[in-house]
Amino acid sequence: MRGKAPAPERGKTAPARGKAAAPERGTTAAPSRGKTAAPGKAPGTERPEAAKGRARVKAPAARPAGGRGPARRQRTPFVLLVVGLLCGGLVSLLLLNTMLAQDTITDAKLREEIAVAKRENEKIDQEYQLKTQPGNIAKLAEMQGQHTDWDEVNAYSSAGDQASQADPQR
């Protein structure tokens, strides 16, 4: 029994020599495109020169049930919401920055006005200090006709005549 092939199982037929085996019932075979690859070569590694003569036929892309369509429709409002929020945040930051810059300019103007007012106040205070010096007061009194009377001392007090008089018992 040496040259005989083993007997096939009951209900199954042995594949003919040189032909591909038929798939078993209940299984699906992957569709093949063009020629099958030679043994030892991976499919799709044919030489480009050999593929030039043949026209390539693309199979239409099968969309799985519940594919990308609804997911894109659900993603679009979310993306628009995020973009809207980012744009709103950017606009509000720009407005805030503008208001802060405006307040800074107003602050600088007010500080300058305060500095000018302080300088004017110091100038007025210096003029007052100069006018209240004893030498300046004496000059103004002489200009008004008041002269110093060194011969008579006029002592005035709030106690009346008794405080200005010397103590008679001494």
pLDDT in tens, 124-137: 999 999 999 999 99
pLDDT at 162 over 80: no
pLDDT tens profile 7-64: 656 655 555 565 555 555 655 555 555 555 555 556 656 555 555 556 566 666 665 5
Tokens of 68: 């990308």
- In Å, how far are 107, 152, 163, 169 from 160, measured between CA atoms? 59, 18, 6, 19
* CA gap 14, 5 in Å, rounded: 10
Residue 73: its pLDDT value, please? 72
Looking at per-residue confidence, does 21 or 118 come out higher?
Answer: 118
Contacts 24+ apart (CB under 8 A), 73-77: none
pLDDT at 121 over 80: yes
Collapse the DSSP code of 88 into the 3-class scheme (helix H, G, I; strand E, B; otherwise coil) and give the result: helix
Determine how many CB atoms are found less than 10 A away from the CB of residue 34. Answer: 13
Closest by Cα among 20, 22, 58 to 39: 20
Mean confidence (pLDDT) of the chain? 74
Please state the rounded mean pLDDT for residues 99-105: 92
Please state the rounded mean pLDDT for residues 143-154: 75
Residue 146: its pLDDT value, please? 84
